[in-house]
Amino acid sequence: MTEMNLVQAINGTLRSEMQANPDVIVLGEDVGKVGGVFRVTQGLIDEFGADRVIDTPLAEGGIIGTAIGMALYGMRPVPEIQFADFIFPAFDQIVSEAAKFRYRSGGEYTVPMTIRAPVGGGIRGGHYHSQSPEALFIHTAGLKVVCPSNPYDARGLLRSAIRDNDPVLFFEPKRVYRAVKMDVPEDDYAIPLGEAKVVTEGKDVTVIAWGAMLFEAMAAAQEASAQGVQAEVIDLRTLWPVDIDTITESVEKTGRVVIVHEAPKACGFGAELLSLITERSFLSLEAPPLRVTGWDTPFPYTLENEYLPLQHRITPAILDTARY
């Protein structure tokens, strides 16, 4: 066991996967000599050289297009988008090409590519460095979407993503890059994509979160516990394919649900989760489901803490739902 933060866990996993498989390639803006804007890829170029850790131009469409070509020829590229907000110039390559190759080729071609991107607020990055675009990619058939909350999960999920034969969006909550540390095994463990985790058990209300918001949800659950409400907190880990079985099992036990995410409420992933829950567990619900989310506005710079669904907004939702 070694104590790691999220940056160290991701860096170490990239290194071990590159050591194990020469087809694993890292590419992106400043990923080589600089080591990435958050230093997540620091040191990789020294070990693997500029042929496998490639500094690219500032052209996200070109980065992803190049990675798709690599993947189709049998490599396993791991392109980095410097901030998830910059992924939109590559949107067409991801949703029109990478997501559809398996289908359009009748399974003859796959795109084993893992797109890494820091997501979310909490670092005063303003509206161009704080967005959470996961719902746009979940909406697209053929893509898998992952968002770990901690170093242990990040290491296991990234290993599974790199080894997966389909394109994976691997969103990293930059707010907790260095804020969360924990003991992480150095062995070759992997966490299967599509498995959620119950991190806090409770009987009164189910709270679903992912990424940095998991810790806000856990803090709110602890505060609610002091007022006699026991919340069961689920970390989705993989957003798509979503582990609906774990969710419905919890909701059918508690009869109540609160969903927390940073992205705006309108058409956010929380809406799809509520649809899945009501389709499967409608008769178990004893209160209207609630969403605690970002607002339907651009992400603000000066009012960041008013935008984010932090503990002070989640706790009342848990209490109101439990006491409905």
Q: How far apart are CA 119 and CA 174, in angstroms?
A: 6
Q: What percentage of the chain exceeds 90 in pLDDT?
A: 94
Is-contact 233 209, C-beta < 8 A?
yes
Confidence label for 126 from pLDDT (cuts 50, 70 and 90): confident
What are the tens digits of pLDDT across the range 152-170? 999 999 999 999 999 999 9
What residue ranges define each of the domains in the chain, with the CATH number in brackets?
2-184 (3.40.50.970), 197-322 (3.40.50.920)
As a residue count, the chain comes to: 324
> CA-CA distances (angstroms) from residue 277 to 9, 182, 259, 280, 282?
33, 32, 11, 5, 7
Is 127 labeled as catalytic in the residue annotation? no
What are the tens digits of pLDDT across the range 208-225? 999 999 999 999 999 999
Q: How far apart are CA 23 and CA 75, in angstroms?
A: 5
Confidence label for 142 from pLDDT (cuts 50, 70 and 90): very high
Is residue 125 scored above 80 in pLDDT?
no
What are the tens digits of pLDDT across the range 272-297? 999 999 999 999 999 999 999 999 99
In 3D space, the residue among 11, 142, 145 whose CA is nearest the CA of residue 87 turns out to be: 145
The one-letter amino acid code at 29 reads E
Q: Exactly one of 127, 129, 139, 261 is catalytic; name it.
A: 129
Q: How far apart are CA 113 and CA 232, in angstroms?
A: 34
Q: Read off the pTM.
A: 0.95
pLDDT (0 to 100) of residue 187: 86
In 3D space, the residue among 194, 195, 220 whose CA is nearest the CA of residue 205 turns out to be: 220
The DSSP 8-state label assigned to residue 98 in this structure reads I
Confidence label for 228 from pLDDT (cuts 50, 70 and 90): very high
